[in-house]
Amino acid sequence: MAGKTLYDKIWDLHQVRRDDDGTVLLYIDRHLVHEVTSPQAFEGLEIAQRPLWRKRSILAVPDHNVPTTGLEYGITDPVARLQVDTLNQNCDKYELTEFKMGDVRQGIVHVIGPEQGATLPGMTVVCGDSHTSTHGAFAALAFGIGTSEVEHVMATQCLIQKKSKNMRVTVAGPVAEGITAKDIVLHIIGVIGTAGGTGCTIEFAGEAINNLSMEGRMTVCNMTIEAGARAGLIACDQTTLDYVKGRPFAPRGEIWDRAVDFWSDLHTDADAVFDREVVIDADDIAPQVTWGTSPEMVCSVTGRVPDPALESDPIKAGGMQNALDYMGLAANTAFDQVRLDKIFIGSCTNSRIEDLRAAAAVVRGRKVADTIKQAMVVPGSGLVKQQAEDEGLDQVFIDAGFEWREPGCSMCLGMNADRLEPGERCASTSNRNFEGRQGQGGRTHLVSPAMAAAAAIAGHFVDVRNI
Amino acid sequence: MDKFVKFTGIVAAIDRPNIDTDAIIPKQYLKSIKRTGFGVNLFDDWRYLDPGEPGQDHSKRRLNPKFVLNREPCSRAQILLARENFACGSSREHAVWALLDFGIRVVIAPSFADIFYNNAFKNGLLPIALGNAPVEQLFAEYKKSEDYRLSIDLEQQVVSNAHGVEIPFEIDESRKYCLMHGLDDIGLTMQHADEIRAFEQAYYERMPWLQ
């Protein structure tokens, strides 16, 4: 019998029952909850008079609607405030663990889970948010669910699931100096496409992945959903254990040792077979910039904006032209000719301490270009913010002309006041460049924190390796 | 959830791949704590010429006359036809609620994003994945007709046009069953509550750090 993949192993551990047609009742260990996708689920439970199955599996935090400035005024938007108040009321009523606004542990749900040790290897982790894939960095099976499923997990601690296919993306060899996790994952999406992983769980492997820190691995797994796969996975190794150990929700003492022993099996067996394998040469990866309105519309900063006239598939060419029209870009433009209005460093993809350090290293002693209307840094959590301030990074950003904000999802999706105006062009460390994502008519280019910082200084895109 | 019964409905088509959930229902409307009322903001950025905010009287906004759902008879569409990777992006179930609230009961496309596909069934919206060739054929017929209608027969798993041309589609048996009977997933799972409890007991003995 062939060996098991990491996905097979975690799946089998959590299988409560399996019907003949392959429908599985899958047990859920950790349920992360935020204000946007939970109110209707709580309401459903209340209407049906159903109790929560396992309250301690839940960790809740408001993040999408939270303002990143003027916290002393609270949330001024009454609709957003009602949503956050509703989360608070529900968590109080059901006695759930919640990091409310004002708590230093509050932040983006996918930042605080790992930060608290609430995400552990071998777990199943769900949240009503597609970027739940982030937690796959810990060899945890983590995926986004809709509100009906949020309610289902609250009521039963399980989900009705069919197993996905096994896919592996191997990034062979080490990446070159100056190439980050964000460049790796954007390049992967460029190669396999935005639906390249649909129906699959993707395991990321290879030297370039193994060399990443946990924060880099989270960036890669975070964007798995941008390649169509609900879940991304990376094997558990010493890097994983070193990160998890000692965190507030992590096991301690003898139980920790037992857990470590158990977790040592959380990797794909050598003789396991994948349904699909993609191998990428790490040497091919340069700093990436997206040029269109889908994350697959990406190329190297050293390249030029592609030309739809050279695309043989007419539907694809039409899609490219639509994207260029929306983005206000001409084919064959060099990226150093693309001038920016705003810079956003933040989001569940790139708002952790290493991201801020990487951006600060580029910014240190320099000034944001006069032509940039606004450049902001939004730390992923209160603890990230505190750490950055302890290291003096806030002052580096402020001295350069960046705004130093409070934690939250912010301009990644512009549910709060942080957004692009129509036609504004932004270098953003977030995960989606969809039309209107950062504000109606806004134009988003996805890049790494270092590339966003370099663009802020230059006023246009530059190859961060050259500054 | 209502039972899904055979019906014939008006088709509206949007000829682009990778229609994302931000396009289906923009973020400002996700602030609602209700499941209803999203239909008026379905495809908001494409449907209106002016920006919209929650709580506003949307009937006073300027409609984009070029957008398909603003044109007769597609403003009464029950079936949406689109290209591959429909509803990629976020997990927001509001995308499904917006389609249903508008009146859409079926989406036909060559492929769907996984989370949306799941969410659709939980609410009685039927996503039908057809191959590229049949979708191409439907687009061709749609473009030739002023009032294009299709019949959807879930029991027989067939999409058919007015001329009786039938296109079969695949669907998971258990999903079909739930849709046809309007079943609530949570109720189904609760029938296995004892099994879940038994599973938990063995599980936490083996992995006490998760307790």
Mean pLDDT (whole number) for A341-356: 98
Q: How far is Cα B99 from Cα B79, in angstroms, rounded to an integer?
A: 10
Which has the closest alpha carbon to B48: A421, A441, A434, A424?
A441
Asked if pLDDT for residue A214 goes beyond 80, the answer is yes
Is the Cβ of B89 closer than 8 Å to some Cβ of chain A? Answer: yes
Mean pLDDT (whole number) for A338-357: 98
Using CA atoms, how far residue A428 sits from A290, A292, A342, A354, A443, in Å, is 10, 13, 8, 16, 10
Instruction: Indicate which of B27, B32, B100, B125 best probes the interface with A, i.e. most A CBs within 10 Å of its own CB.
Output: B27
Asked if pLDDT for residue B83 goes beyond 90, the answer is yes
pLDDT of residue B184: 85
Percent of chain A with pLDDT over 70: 100
Instruction: Look at the block and give the residue holding tokens 């993040």.
Output: A63
Asked if pLDDT for residue A338 goes beyond 80, the answer is yes
Burial class of residue A101 in the structure, from the number of CB atoms within 10 Å of its CB (0-12 exposed, 13-18 middle, 19+ buried): buried
Q: How far is Cα A298 from Cα A285, in angstroms, rounded to an integer?
A: 12
Q: Are B43 and B111 in contact (CB under 8 A)?
A: no
Query: How confident is residue A2, by pLDDT bands cut at 50, 70 and 90?
Result: confident
Of the candidates A40, A146, A255, which has its C-beta nearest B209's C-beta? A255
A323: closest chain B residue by CA: B16
Q: Would you call B35 and A40 a contact, using CB atoms and an 8 Å cutoff?
A: yes
A with B: how many residue pairs have Cβ under 8 Å apart? 182
Q: How far is Cα B93 from Cα B101, in angstroms, rounded to an integer?
A: 12
Mean pLDDT of all residues belonging to chain A:
97
Mean pLDDT (whole number) for A62-68: 96
pLDDT of residue B144: 96
For the stretch A151-182, what's the b/e string if a residue is b when 16 or more beta carbons lie within 10 angstroms of its beta carbon?
bbbbbbbbbbbebbebbbbbbebebeebbbbb
pLDDT tens-digit series, residues A441-455: 999 999 999 999 999
- Torsion-angle region of B207 (φ positive above 0: left; ψ -120 to 50: alpha; else: beta): beta
Residue A188: what residue type? I
Strand-by-strand arrangement of the A15-18 sheet: A15-18, A24-27, A158-161
pLDDT of residue A187: 98
* Residue numbers in B near A257 (CB within 8 A): none
**CA-based radius of gyration for chain A:** 21
Q: Would you call B18 and A319 a contact, using CB atoms and an 8 Å cutoff?
A: yes
pLDDT tens-digit series, residues B173-204: 999 999 999 988 999 999 999 999 999 999 99
pLDDT tens-digit series, residues A367-391: 999 999 999 999 999 999 999 999 9
pLDDT of residue B194: 98
Instruction: Indicate which of B31, B61, B207 best probes the interface with A, i.e. most A CBs within 10 Å of its own CB.
Output: B31
Q: Are A435 and B45 in contact (CB under 8 A)?
A: yes
pLDDT tens-digit series, residues B119-129: 999 999 999 99
pLDDT of residue B116: 98
B15: closest chain A residue by CA: A315
Q: How far is Cα A298 from Cα A288, in angstroms, rounded to an integer?
A: 7
pLDDT tens-digit series, residues B38-51: 999 999 999 999 99
Mean pLDDT (whole number) for A90-112: 98
The torsion angles phi and psi of B10, rounded to 5 degrees, stand at -70, 140
Instruction: Look at the block and give the residue holding tokens 């806030």.
Output: A394
DSSP string, A382-413: HHHHHHHHHTTHHHHHHHHT-EE--SSSGGGT
Mean pLDDT (whole number) for A122-148: 98
Is the Cβ of A86 closer than 8 Å to some Cβ of chain B? Answer: yes
For the stretch A262-278, what's the b/e string if a residue is b when 16 or more beta carbons lie within 10 angstroms of its beta carbon?
bbeebbbeeebebeeeb
A86: closest chain B residue by CA: B33
The H-or-E segment that residue A158 falls in is: strand A158-161
The H-or-E segment that residue A17 falls in is: strand A15-18
Chain B nearest-CA distance from A248, in A, is 13
Is the Cβ of A437 closer than 8 Å to some Cβ of chain B? Answer: yes
pLDDT of residue B156: 97
Q: Would you call A148 and B196 a contact, using CB atoms and an 8 Å cutoff?
A: no
Burial class of residue A252 in the structure, from the number of CB atoms within 10 Å of its CB (0-12 exposed, 13-18 middle, 19+ buried): exposed
The pTM of this model reads 0.96
Q: Would you call A43 and B32 a contact, using CB atoms and an 8 Å cutoff?
A: no
The torsion angles phi and psi of A136, rounded to 5 degrees, stand at -60, -15
Asked if pLDDT for residue A1 goes beyond 80, the answer is no
Chain A nearest-CA distance from B49, in A, is 11
pLDDT of residue A349: 98
DSSP-derived secondary structure letter, A329: -
pLDDT tens-digit series, residues A428-440: 999 999 999 999 9
* Residue numbers in A near B55 (CB within 8 A): 79
Q: Reduce the DSSP state of residue B10 to 3 states and report it.
A: strand
Q: Which domains does chain B have, with CATH numbers?
A: 6-181 (3.20.19.10)
Q: How far is Cα A342 from Cα A293, in angstroms, rounded to an integer?
A: 17
pLDDT of residue A467: 87
Q: Would you call B92 and A146 a contact, using CB atoms and an 8 Å cutoff?
A: yes
pLDDT of residue B48: 97
Mean pLDDT (whole number) for B97-113: 98
Percent of chain A with pLDDT over 90: 97
Q: Would you call A122 and B31 a contact, using CB atoms and an 8 Å cutoff?
A: no
Mean pLDDT (whole number) for A77-102: 97
Asked if pLDDT for residue A359 goes beyond 90, the answer is yes
pLDDT tens-digit series, residues A148-194: 999 999 999 999 999 999 999 999 999 999 999 999 999 999 999 99
pLDDT of residue A177: 95
Q: What was the ipTM of the complex prediction?
A: 0.94
Chain B nearest-CA distance from A389, in A, is 31
* Residue numbers in A near B170 (CB within 8 A): none
* Residue numbers in B near A315 (CB within 8 A): 17, 83
pLDDT of residue A171: 98
A334: which strand partners?
A304
